[in-house]
Amino acid sequence: MSNSLLLLPPSSSSYSQPHSPLTLTFFNSRRKRRPCRYSRATMCSSHNSHPPNDVVVGCGAASVDFLATVASYPNPDDKIRSINLKVQGGGNAGNALTCVARLGLKPRIISKVADDSQGRSILDELHADGVDASFIVVSKEGTSPFTYIIVDNETKTRTCIHTPGYPPMIPQDLSESSLLTALNGANIVYFDGRLYETALVVAQEAVRKNIPILIDAERPREGLDDLLKFANYVVCSAKFPLAWTGASTIPQALVSILLRLPNIRFVIVTLGKDGCIMLERNLDVASSTEEVDIDSLVESLKMTTNESVLHPTCISSSVATLKAEGIGTVNGRIYVGTAESIPPLELIDTTGAGDAFIGAVIYAICANFSPETMLSFAANVAAAKCRDLGARSGLPYRADPRIASFMQ
Q: What is the pLDDT of residue 283?
A: 84
Nearest to residue 377, comparing CAs of 355, 395, 392, 357? Answer: 357
Walk along the chain (408 residues) in steps of 10 and give the mean pLDDT of each run: 33 35 51 47 42 86 96 94 95 98 97 97 97 98 96 93 96 97 97 97 98 96 96 97 97 98 97 96 74 96 84 93 96 96 94 97 96 97 97 96 90
Q: Which pLDDT tens digit goes with each residue over 84-107?
A: 999 999 999 999 999 999 999 999
* Predicted TM-score (pTM) of this structure: 0.88
Beta bridge partners of 151: 69, 158
CA distance 106 to 130: 7
No. of helices (H) and no. of strands (E), the chain: 10, 18
Question: E strand or H helix at 324, and its extent?
Answer: strand 320-324
Residue 285: Cβ within 10 Å count: 7
Helices (H), 229-345: 240-245, 250-260, 294-303
Residues 6+ apart with CB under 8 A from 51: 43, 44, 105, 187, 366, 367, 368
Q: What is the pLDDT of residue 284?
A: 78
Question: In 3-state terms, what secondary structure has residue 166?
Answer: strand
